Amino acid sequence: MENIVLKVKDFSAYYGDKKIVKNINLVIKKNKVTSIMGPSGCGKTTFIRCINRMHEVNVDARITGKIFLHDNNICEMDPIIVRRKIGMVFQRPNPFPNMSIYDNVIAGYKLNGIKLKREEFDEIVEDSLKKAGLWYEVKSDLYRRSTFLSGGQQQRLCIARSLAMKPDILLLDEPTSALDPIATKHIEKLIEALKENVTIIIVTHNLAQAGRVSDYVAFMYLGELIEFGKAEKIFTAPEKKETEKFLIGKIG
Amino acid sequence: MDKKIIFRIFKDKLFKFIVICTSGLVLIPLVFIILYIIKNGISVINLEFLFTLPKPIGEAGGGIIHSLTGTFILIILASLFSIPLGIGAGIYAVEHKKSKVAKIIIFSVEILQGIPSIVIGIIGYMWLVKPIGQFSALSGGITLGIMMLPIVIKATEETLKLIPFSLKEAAIALGVPYYKAILKVILPSAKSGIITGILVGIARISGETAPLLFTAFGNNFLNFNIFKPIDALPLLIFNYATSPYKEWHKIAWGASFVIVILILVLNISTRLVVKKWRT
Amino acid sequence: MLNQKLIELKKEILLFASLIENMVSMDFKGLREKDGHLLKSVISEMEPKANGKELEIDELATNLIALFQPEAKDLRTILSIIKINNDLERIGDLSVNVAESSLYLIRNKISVDLGKLKDIENEILKMYKESIEAFVNEDTKLAMSVLEVDSIIDKMEEKVIDFFINFMSKEPSFIKSTMHIIRIAHNLERIGDLCTNICEDVIYIKQGKIIRHNIKV
């Protein structure tokens, strides 16, 4: 039995009275890429934001059900710790503009007041930037402001920043929708390499991308989890009608 | 076809001309005032003027150092009062913008900005001078601070609103606690806007006379005790310009010149701050 | 990603091709050396393996198309591999037929002069190897030369069949065995046809031109 990293049980999410995510049950396997796909408004972004408790930023948000990270209920854990173990990269690259590339990568440590020796920080920076495929492009410019980087490079910097916290899971919320095709390709290649180090959950509305990068696919529609399975199976012979309709373009 | 185009070009040029003329018209009195002040004031300026106390009536010479230091002390007191309070209120108004308190803050800011400075001076007299028992730098400083407060709150609020939510999101997603995210990520990004607001506020209060009449009151001597009355440049100008002595009129011109320079420096600093942190 | 998967797919089809080549060579060897065991292993061991391989490659190719939406040359390559996969499996079936008929001949100790068959056998093996080589190297020249050889093989087969039909009419007691010899010849010729299919696919992959059904290039 492959390692299970995340277990979602009877999970629902509400904004006020509106039920956005309806009763999801699924399991995320370690070191695999799981895509959550579906038409706009199906609840996939809301769902993924609950996994690292980002929904709590919104006052109206409420959840029921349980999510277990390695057998620990994330709602019973300190949200700060949850977010360090489950990192997130957003749709629009958002490196901290007032910080250098170096400081951006270790921002998670610095902003939390975690003090390490200079050599330890150097190592973390190099390791994270290498894993994000950005090291060789910026290693001579580490102390420059991050705003000088291109969109694709900024996004890889954000990935490095999340990786620096050594998370168990990396959540990617439509990470390439603001990028050009070449930058998108880089990130997709990166995802392939990254899964050796970290489990990846990616939300995408781009079918072709889901096909290219995923090991497992979850299809959501109108807040519900319609189907979940291996990518080859879902893309060649899905079991549910709605999945089929979505894949051939009839919905969404 | 040609005729229409020529007419359009003419209309265009005419409009440009009118705009330039009206701008010129507005500039003329402004330039005139400044030149007049410079003409009358610059002859008085010398080291003695800037660094000594006034001489008794009849004697030539003397200076305005008591007013200069007074103005600076009042500015510092006003800043100490309004900056922490103002930034804090501004942050609260943006972070909890749907709450009643935030709405009260924003409403109060609008009202405070419209109250005449002399009214604020009277309030300062009733709340600060009477309880203490005498006029003081402290009451003058706080009164000026009350005038500076809405400017700082507004500047903080407007700047914070401009900062994209994604920045806060990024910090929170890294496991940074909420208020640390505000203090260490958002505020540094808002630096230039807030500092601009502070400089604008200082420029505003450095020329205020009316509130000081009821609170700081004035002093002919150097004073560093905030519980005692203190002088300030606008107060000096008021007293000396309305006096019958010619020497004192000259000193008033000199002080006016100093104020104009002070405000000029503040405005240029504002511009530099914005430029530096825009990149 | 797609490139990597394509390379894997090509590797699989080549493994399949060499399995089929073994089947065909073992047919010839078995008949030549009168070794029944070789022929039996073709029928009972290698053929099931071949069927399994065909299903595997089919699934792999389907997944590739579903997940990666290949275009242009990649698309032509994958579609052609699916066809070649099919053709290889049929060659496997045909070689089983040859093995069965060869087994009959061996068991009944028929030693008719099979010299003419041998010529066809050699040509077919050559055709097959060259077809696969043309695929590996995307060598359209080689593919074209194989296409031209096919008509020669057809003629050879015609001759052999004529000869043995004649023989049959003169020696009625040998009808059953002769039928098997004719069956072997016929199946070998069919193998040749399938090799030409493979070569046509090679040309399609490389140039995007379809030359099936004798449409001239």
Contacts of A97 in chain B (CB under 8 A): 167, 189
Cα within 13 Å of Cα(B217), Cβ side: 19
| Residue of B98, B174, B186, B279 to mutate, testing the A interface (most A Cβ within 10 Å of its Cβ) | B174
Q: B13-26: per-residue pLDDT in tens?
A: 999 999 999 999 99
Q: Does residue A20 surpass a pLDDT of 70?
A: yes
Q: What is the rounded average pLDDT of the residues B223-241? A: 87
Out of C1, C66, C68, name the one closest to residue A236 (CB): C66
Q: Which residue in A37, A207, A235, A248 has the most chain C C-beta atoms within 10 A of its own C-beta, making it the best mutation to test that interface?
A: A235
Contact between chain C and chain B (3 or more Cβ pairs less than 8 Å apart): no
Judged by CB atoms closer than 8 Å, whether chains meet at A212 and C68 is answered as yes
Instruction: Give mean pLDDT, residues C21-39.
Output: 90
Query: Quick one: pLDDT band at residue A243, thresholds 50, 70, 90?
Result: very high
Residue C139 confidence class, pLDDT cut points 50, 70, 90: very high
Nearest CB among A80, A161, A162 relative to B177 is that of: A80
Helix (H) or strand (E) holding B39: helix B2-41
Look at residues B269, B56, B228 and name the one whose alpha carbon lies nearest to residue B138: B228
State how far residue A210 is from chain B, nearest Cα, in angstroms. Answer: 24
In this complex, do A192 and C63 lie within 8 Å of one another by their Cβ atoms? no
pLDDT of residue C113: 66
Closest CA to B207 of B155, B255, B158: B255
Q: Closest chain B residue to A96 measured between Cα atoms?
A: B167
Mean pLDDT value across chain A: 92
pLDDT tens digits for range B34-52: 888 888 888 888 877 888 8
> Which residues in chain B have Cβ-Cβ distances shorter than 8 Å to A83?
172-175
More confident site: B55 or B183: B183
Residue C154 has pLDDT above 80, yes or no: yes
Q: Do C67 and A212 touch (CB under 8 A)?
A: yes
**Hey, are the CB atoms on A188 and C1 less than 8 Å from each other?**
yes
Best probe of the A interface among C1, C3, C68, by most A CBs < 10 A, is: C1
**Chain B interface residues (partner A, CB cutoff 8 A):** 164, 166-177, 180-181, 184-185, 188-189
CB neighbours of residue C75 within 10 Å: 15
From the CB coordinates, do chains A and B have 3 or more pairs under 8 Å?
yes
**Res A224: pLDDT:** 94
Residues of A within 8 A of C67 (CB-CB) are: 211-212, 231-232, 235
User: Which residue from B minimizes the CA distance to A170?
Assistant: B173
Phi, psi of A20 (to 5 degrees): -90, -40
Q: Residue C214: what pLDDT?
A: 63
SS3 category, A18:
strand
Give residues 189 to 248 of A whose Cβ lies within 8 Å of C. 189, 192, 208, 211-213, 231-232, 235-236
- The sign one gets for the Cα dihedral B162, B166, B167, B172 is positive
CB contact under 8 A, A232 and C2: no
- State how far the Cα of B165 lies from the Cα of B168, in Å rounded to an integer: 5
Which tokens go with A125? 């920076």
Question: Quick one: closest CA in A to C2, which residue?
Answer: A212
A95: nearest Cα among A163, A168, A156? A156
Structure tokens at C139: 């060598």
Averaged pLDDT for residues A136-165: 92
- Interface contact C62-A211, CB threshold 8 A: no
* H or E segment to which residue B248 belongs: helix B246-278
Q: Which residue in chain B is spatially nearest to A158 when comparing CA positions?
A: B170
For A216, which residue in chain C has the nearest alpha carbon?
C67
User: Can you list the alpha helix ranges (DSSP code H) found in chain C?
Assistant: 2-32, 36-41, 47-68, 72-107, 115-137, 140-170, 175-207
Which residues of chain B lie closer than 8 angstroms to A57, CB-CB?
Answer: 168-169, 172
Task: Output the pLDDT for position A29.
Answer: 94
Which residues fall within 8 angstroms of residue C132, CB to CB, at 6 or more apart? C14, C17, C21, C198
In the numeric block, which tokens belong to residue B269? 């600093």
Section B4-19 average pLDDT? 93
CA distance B196 to B277: 11
* Mean pLDDT on C48-60: 95
Mean pLDDT of A223-247: 93
Query: C66, A208: Cβ pair inside 8 Å?
Result: no
Average of per-residue pLDDT across C117-144: 92
Per-residue pLDDT, A130 = 94
How many of the other CB atoms lie within 10 Å of CB of C46? 19
Each residue of A53-68: pLDDT tens digit? Answer: 999 988 889 999 999 9
State pLDDT tens for residues C66-79. 999 898 889 999 99
Of all residues in chain B, the percent with pLDDT exceeding 90 is: 34
The predicted pLDDT at position A240 comes to: 93
CATH code, residues B49-278: 1.10.3720.10
Distance from CA of C64 to the nearest CA of A (A): 8
Percent pLDDT > 90 in chain C is 60
Closest listed residue to residue C85, CA positions, set C47, C55, C118: C55
Chain B residues closer than 8 Å to A168 by CB: none
At residue C108 the predicted structure's pLDDT band, cuts being 50, 70 and 90, is confident
Predicted pLDDT of residue B120:
92
Residues of B in contact with A79 (CB under 8 A): 175
Residues of A in contact with C62 (CB under 8 A): 236
Q: Which residue of C has its CA nearest to A192?
A: C1
Cβ-nearest to A235 among C1, C2, C66: C66
Q: Dig out the tokens for A155 from the structure.
A: 């996004």
Residue B184: closest C-alpha in chain A = A111
Give the three-state DSSP class for A215: coil
**Closest CA–CA distance from residue C59 to any residue of chain A (Å):** 9
Structure tokens given for A143: 């102390």
Which of the four pLDDT bands, split at 50, 70 and 90, describes residue B222?
Answer: confident
Q: Give contacts of B172 with chain A, Cβ < 8 Å.
A: 54, 57, 83
- Is the model's pLDDT at B9 over the cut of 80? yes
The answer to whether the Cα torsion of A147, A153, A155, A159 is positive or negative is negative
Which pLDDT belongs to residue B277? 67
Handedness of CA B167, B172, B175, B180 (dihedral sign): positive
Say whether pLDDT at A2 is over 90: no
Looking at residue C170, its pLDDT comes to 87
Q: Is B95 exposed, middle or buried (0-12, 13-18, 19+ CB in 10 A)?
A: middle
Quickly state the pLDDT bin for C177 (edges 50, 70, 90).
confident
* Contact yes or no for B220/B231 (Cβ under 8 A): yes
- Check pLDDT > 70 for residue B92: yes
Residues of C with CB under 8 A from a CB of A: 1-2, 62-63, 66-69
CB spacing of A231 vs C67 below 8 angstroms? yes
Yes or no, beta carbons of A236 and C63 under 8 Å apart: yes
Dump pLDDT digits (tens) for A100-126. Answer: 999 999 999 999 888 999 999 999 999
Q: Which residues of A129-140 are buried (b: 16+ CB within 10 A; e: fewer)?
A: bebbbbbeebee
Residue in A84, A90, A162 nearest the CB of B169: A90
pLDDT at C217 > cutoff 60? no
Segment B238-241 long-range contacts (CB within 8 Å, at least 24 positions apart)? B238/B209, B238/B213
- Chain A to chain C, count of Cβ pairs less than 8 Å apart? 23
| A11-30 residues labelled b (16+ CB within 10 A) or e (exposed) | bbbbeeeeebbeebebebbe
Q: Which residue of A has its CA nearest to C65?
A: A236
**Chain C touching partners, 3 or more CB pairs below 8 A:** A
pLDDT, residue C171, reads 84
What's residue C112's pLDDT? 62
Residues of B in contact with A96 (CB under 8 A): 167, 170-171, 185
Q: What does pLDDT average to over chain B?
A: 88
Give Dmax over CA atoms of chain C in angstroms: 64
The predicted model scores a pTM of 0.80
Is residue C216 over pLDDT 60? no
pLDDT band (50, 70, 90) for residue C160: confident
Closest to A97 measured CA to CA, from B182, B195, B158, B279: B279
Rounded CA-CA distance A220/A20 in Å is: 11
pLDDT score of A173: 95
Q: B: neighbours with 3+ CB pairs under 8 Å? A: A
Q: How does pLDDT run across A70-111, given as a tens digit for each residue?
A: 989 999 999 999 999 999 999 999 999 888 999 999 999 999
Q: In this model, does residue B136 exceed pLDDT 90?
A: no
pLDDT of residue C25: 93
State mean pLDDT over A176-180: 91
pLDDT at C114 > cutoff 80? no
Average pLDDT, chain C: 90
